[in-house]
Chains A and B, each alone.
Chain A
Amino acid sequence: MIRPLVAKEVRDQRPFLWLALFFIVVEVPSALWLEPLGFSPYAETFESRFKPDGDLSLLTFILAFALGSGLLVREQDDRTLEFLDALPTSRWTLFWVKLLVALATVLVYPLGVTLWVIGHHALSRTSLDPGLHLDVMAVASVLRVAQALTVLALALALAPLRRLCWTALAVLMLGQSILEDQVPWLSALNPFHLTAPEFEGTHWRWPVEALSLQLSVACVLLGLALAQFLGWGERLTASVQRRLRGSWMGTLATLATVGLFIGVFARWAGSDGAVEDSGGEGPKVEFPTAATAQAATGHYQFTYPASLRKRAEPLLDGADGVFEKVRAFLGVEAGDPIRANLGGSARHTAGTAYWNTLRMNLAGLSRPDEALAVLGHETTHVLAQRIAGADAAPRLTSMKLLSEGLASYVEYRFFYAPGSEEEYQLIAAAARARREVKTEELLDVEKLAAERDENQVYPLGRAFIEVLVRRHGDGAPARVLAALGRKDAPEGLEGALAWQDAFQTAGIDLSQVFDDFFAYLDEQVERRREVIDTLPRPRGAVERESGQVGIRTIVDGKVPEGWEVVCRFRSDETSSHHEFDGPYFGTGPHWREPSNISEGKLWYQIGLREPQGLVLYEPWTMVRVQ
């Protein structure tokens, strides 16, 4: 009886099989016909194929869930189950036949593509990597089977919800992603992470914990689906199904869908405040909020806490002077007054700029000249955005070397005494001396942040603008900004191309500016060689104690007086600097709770903090501590 059942299932699931084969046919024959063969070794293809959000994982997930969500309930809805019941076979057998045929159907695409990847590598292998790495591919395939089974089991368990099952899936996925942020350990439950390549040397480490957990969950879900299919608690199920067809279903769908988006918002809202809220269980002291004061000058409309009136006075007096200096340098019309809120700024910043608006943390600025300098810095951002225009403002903000460099340059040139940029120059020169100033990282701040330190754009950007102004005059930055915001600018340019386009249109040779920039840094290196040579290169060593993992800093040599060793952590390569934990001062060890470590990877960065507070960081390091 098994063979006819299998044949019937294969026939039923044929559309999915055709779909999987279609996906393969779209890819493989086109490559065999159109691409130069033999140039796709694993080094080129593996990461893009097998990453958690790669096409293999995504299509396996979609195919498995789409197939699973109709596998059992379609027989019930179409009343064909009654015909099957008349056959000399049990529902138990039916269930397993359906499940196994579905699993095989789902796996056609991922395993087919895996075979294609192996074949392509066989044609492309070089003397540097002659092996086929079948052990790695075997692990990948076994994990893919486990992933498909888990998703199928989830789909079968949610299928009785009928049209709500995709919504339920979305809610589950969102919940999972929210919880994963709070408790990184929960990523072990994510089917996408199951097949994420985790290498130690050239071996793919078995994700034992995730695999056992997900297979256990899959067993439970399959048990639920089986119970429902066998008709256990049929009356209960029938009553639930009747209710599911009721008018309140729409209401539930509303709740689930809109609640889902509110969840997203809550996550977005909560993400920024996480660190401040972790104040522990100590006594909470809350003072009344100070009243708000407002003042208008020729070019600003200020709002500030009334309690800071004394501190605000020099700033209000000097504000229009600041505006005029920046305006004259950038050669821009005065325009509408800028709204300036002095009640606070983004974390770890003295000020933040927006479209025609700026915010400053006046309470954190004790010296009047410092407050005027910060106002000058943020005013530069606002006026630069006006030159570029509202459409180009986000692009300008992403070109941090230009935007922050320009603001820092204006700040130091016009609002501080000559020579006060010394610490900026030292940090820039030290980075250059260590061969850590790379153009591609400067033009792509995400790369810079992932590899080193996003804040390097301040000292390096200031130096960049200085050489730009030296060669092309004070008007050069404004020309670049105007070029960036011109109406006929090509769309979709990012990174180096956006830079190239803006500078080229402004009539400035970007490569020449970079050439000047490196020459300037080399000069600074020579001038500060003695200090730079005395700076040690700290590194970290892992320590363990009572289930905790910590990083102890090792320093070969002596830390110069006034400098300090710092260490900070991040959860993964894509974390933004707002999410970093630290910096912690001293050589440590600085301990981490296991629940704060995601997927057994501990990311840390050691640095040296100079007396003024700028930090010279070493590159980020990742240690496997599972």
Chain B
Amino acid sequence: MSRALLLKEWREHRGSWLLLNLLFGILLLLMLVTEEHHAEKGSPFELLRVPTLLLCSVGALFAAHRLVVREYGQRTQLFLAALPLSRTRILVTKLVLGVAVLLLPLALSLLVLWSRAREHEEVSARFVLLLALRAGTPVLLGWSFFALAGLLGRYRNPLYIFLVIAAFAADHLTELDLSKTGPFALLGADFAFERHRIPWDDLFPCWALTAAVGALCFGLVLYRDGTLAELFSQRMSHREKVFIACVMVGLFTVISMMDEAKKRQPFALHEAEKAGVKESAVQVASGVGFPREQARRMAERLAEDLLALSDYLGLERLPAVAVLPIRELDADVFQRAKLEKADGVVVRANLAAPDFDPRAFEAFLFREVLIEASEGVVLREERQWLLDGFTTWWAHRDEEERLSMRAAVASREDFDSRGWLTTRERLGPCLSGALAARGVQVLHEQLGEQSFRAVMRRILAGPPGTGLWGLWNEPRLASLLRERGGSSEDELARLWREALRGDRETHPKELERLAGMRPALTLVAESAETFRLEHTLQTEEGREHPARYALLHHELKPFEHEVAPHELSRQDTVPSPGGARLPRGLARGDRWLFVVQVESETLGCPIRLLAERREIR
């Protein structure tokens, strides 16, 4: 410390420091004036967090700018170096001065809040000491950090950005939770409430870090007579700026890619019945109406079927599979979870429902397993019917009669296999699966077992390709058919439609019943901007009414995407001549998907009579 230096700093910065204290005075006043509003915070000392946060961030930045950056930026440190003063002494004076400048408003704030709080409650000296430690430590750390950054001159802004990227990396690539570490923990939720426990675990690392950063400051200032700090203080060129920006963006991109590529653990379900399949496991949890014994049987059956499927398609590895029972869903709705920090296929279904169809569920599960195994490549629309068809066919191998009946109903209108998403939306997953399964059966008959298996292996279980090369090398059905000496895709389509015609001729009864049903949707304006939807299901005279029908609805976003069955809200209605109303208002300009469907016991799945995307106007 040097008195002369102190006087010099005082003369140079007194205006700014007075203003800083004035602003903090105003802040304190503002806090006291609005104290009533902050009563909801639970303790008056919650207000101390604000000056603490300000002082350890912007206050420390400001002090570092005045005391360090300015000195080095304007090269006046060269004059100081010419004086009979050591560099150590100059730095110590600056650091101590910074501490004093920052701790003074903090101490004042604490004293004022203490005096206010004492009017209402007892505040022990230990509690005040605790608050002082918890507030003062981050301020000291902030100051030492910004002082070091100031000595880094033109690299201080890249340092800030680098630290943000490092924090991002620590958050995403490690198990470290910054919010529970060091200064963040000191200013945590219990800051104003913990009156007894001194958080040594958080204080010691902060103090150690402050000391280390302080040592670095001395290192920078003393290294080669301060020439390093002097070099850093020079202005950054345009090219240097762009170079650093590119390095930072590159770094950020690499970290993001590492985060994506980070190996994740297979999903493990606690207390589930497990059955091994290859190196993976099928886990089925029990639930209400779905006891452990049933869960174990299901796990074993699924494992057996998955093993057979993977052998058939030549899948080397299978993802972890977990099945959860849930009563929240309808029996015919299955849901796959999005996983974070774990890999696998986690699905849930109403396994205990009396009308739960294990075959339909298996088809759904096998489909999801193949999607996971191919990293989504099998979802390419032009070949998606093969995915749906194969998994449905595989799950219903011993139930061909039922598939035939469903296919008959599904094919009552023509379809385009290359526009499969539209077809699936029109028919629903159950009927579209049957329709596609019929196509797969035809393909099987046409190619024979061996060739069919080879084609399916290429399409459904080929190694997933990425980028343009992957797109170029994706298997195409037409070329695979050519390779195998089969016919063309057109020929396959013709045979498929012929098989469906045969199905329709075999099962005319259900088709006749459906032919007489006329669903209708009407939008009725209730004001210029709002509408109601009226819906009816009329049947031709002399034909039997369905006991009830369902209106499924879902609000769409501007761009079209497939709506999963579990996303559809539902209104069950008994058909009546007056129709029914959707129990919500619809706003002009919104877009909705409306589906009218009836249940069919014969088919064991719902039949969609209408599926319409409509803009409200």
In whole angstroms, what is the CA distance A39 to B341 when docked?
Answer: 22
A422 CA / B120 CA spacing, docked (Å): 39
Report Cα–Cα, A200/B615, bound state, in Å.
Answer: 9
Q: Give the residues from 503 to 520 in chain A that come closer than 8 angstroms, CB to CB, to chain B.
A: 503-504, 507, 509, 511-512, 514-516, 518-519
Given contacts A36-B375, A515-B287, 12 further A-B contacts (CB under 8 A): A36-B467, A38-B471, A272-B37, A272-B40, A273-B36, A339-B121, A355-B193, A356-B195, A390-B190, A509-B271, A519-B288, A623-B588
- A37 and B348 contacting across the interface, CB-CB below 8 Å: no
Give the residues in chain A near B250, CB-CB below 8 Å: 26
CB-based contact A541/B242 at 8 Å: no
Q: Which of B185, B288, B584 contacts A618 (CB 8 A)?
A: B584
Pick out which of these stretches binds chain B: A172-180, A224-232, A490-498.
A490-498
Q: B34 contacts the other chain (Cβ, under 8 Å)?
A: yes
Total contacting residues, chain B, CB less than 8 A: 118
Chain A residues within 8 Å of B27, by CB: 262, 265
Which of B119, B241, B422 interacts with A15 by CB under 8 Å? Answer: B241
Complex CA gap A619/B587 in Å reads 13
Give the distance in Å from the alpha carbon of A85 to the alpha carbon of B383 in the complex.
Answer: 66
Contacts of A123 in B (CB 8 A): 471
A394 to chain B, nearest CB (A): 5
B271 near A127 (CB under 8 angstroms)? no
B560's closest neighbor in chain A, by CB? A129
Q: Flag if B328 contacts A390 (CB, 8 Å).
A: no
A199 to B529, CA, bound (A): 15
Q: Does B560 contact A37, Cβ atoms closer than 8 Å? A: no
| A40 CB → nearest B CB, Å | 11
| B246 touching A624, Cβ below 8 Å | no
Partner of A258 from B43, B62, B422 at Cβ < 8 Å: B62
Any A CB within 8 A of the CB of B617: yes
Residue in chain A with minimal CB distance to B40? A346
Whether A254 contacts B20 in the complex (CB less than 8 A), given A32-B467, A197-B558, A199-B558, comes out as: yes
Contact with B along A356-388 (1 / 0, CB 8 A): 111100000000000000000000000000000
Residues of B within 8 A of A34 (CB): 257, 466-467
Q: Chain A: interface residue count, which band?
A: 35 or more
B62 contact set on A, CB distance < 8 A: 254, 257-258
A269 contacts B270, C-beta separation under 8 Å: no
B45 to chain A, nearest CB (A): 11
Q: Does A160 contact B (CB under 8 A)?
A: no
A390 close to B189 (CB less than 8 A): yes
Is A336 an interface residue when CB atoms closer than 8 A count as contact? yes
Contact of B562 with A390 in the complex, beta carbons under 8 Å: no
Contact A511 B177 (CB under 8 A): no
For the complex formed, measure the closest distance between the CB of A361 and the CB atoms of chain B, giving whole angstroms.
11
Report B569 CB to chain A, min CB distance, Å: 7
Binary contact track B364-380/A, C-beta < 8 Å → 1, others 0: 00000000000111011
Does A112 lie at the interface of the complex (its beta carbon under 8 Å from any beta carbon of B)?
no
Interface residue stretch chosen among A147-155, A435-443, A558-566: A435-443
**Contact of B30 with A by CB under 8 A:** yes
| Interchain CB contact (< 8 A) of A391 among B65, B176, B180, B253 | B180
Q: Specify which chain A residues have a CB less than 8 angstroms from the CB of B239 in the assembled complex.
A: 15
Are A36 and B377 within 8 A (Cβ)?
yes
Give CA–CA (A503, B272) in the complex, Å: 13
In B552-584, which residues have CB < 8 Å from any A CB? Answer: 557-562, 569-570, 581, 583-584
Q: Which B residues touch A133, using CB under 8 A?
A: 559
> In the assembled complex, which residues on chain A have CB atoms less than 8 Å from the CB atom of B190?
355-356, 390, 393
Q: Evaluate contact between A336 and B587: CB separation under 8 angstroms.
A: no
A35 contacts B466, CB within 8 Å?
yes
Assembled-state Cα–Cα distance A255/B23 (Å): 8
Across-interface contacts of A491 in B (CB, < 8 A): 175-177, 180
Determine whether A321 belongs to the interface, using a CB cutoff of 8 Å to chain B.
no
A278 proximal to B (CB < 8 A): no
**Residue B458 at the chain A interface, CB threshold 8 Å:** no
Residue B167 lies at the interface, judged by CB distance under 8 Å to chain A: no
CA distance A357 to B585 in the complex (A): 44
- CB pairs A–B below 8 angstroms (26 shown): A15-B239, A15-B242, A19-B245, A30-B253, A30-B257, A36-B467, A37-B467, A43-B557, A126-B421, A126-B560, A126-B562, A200-B588, A202-B558, A251-B15, A258-B20, A265-B31, A341-B42, A356-B194, A356-B195, A507-B270, A509-B271, A512-B288, A514-B328, A619-B584, A622-B587, A624-B588
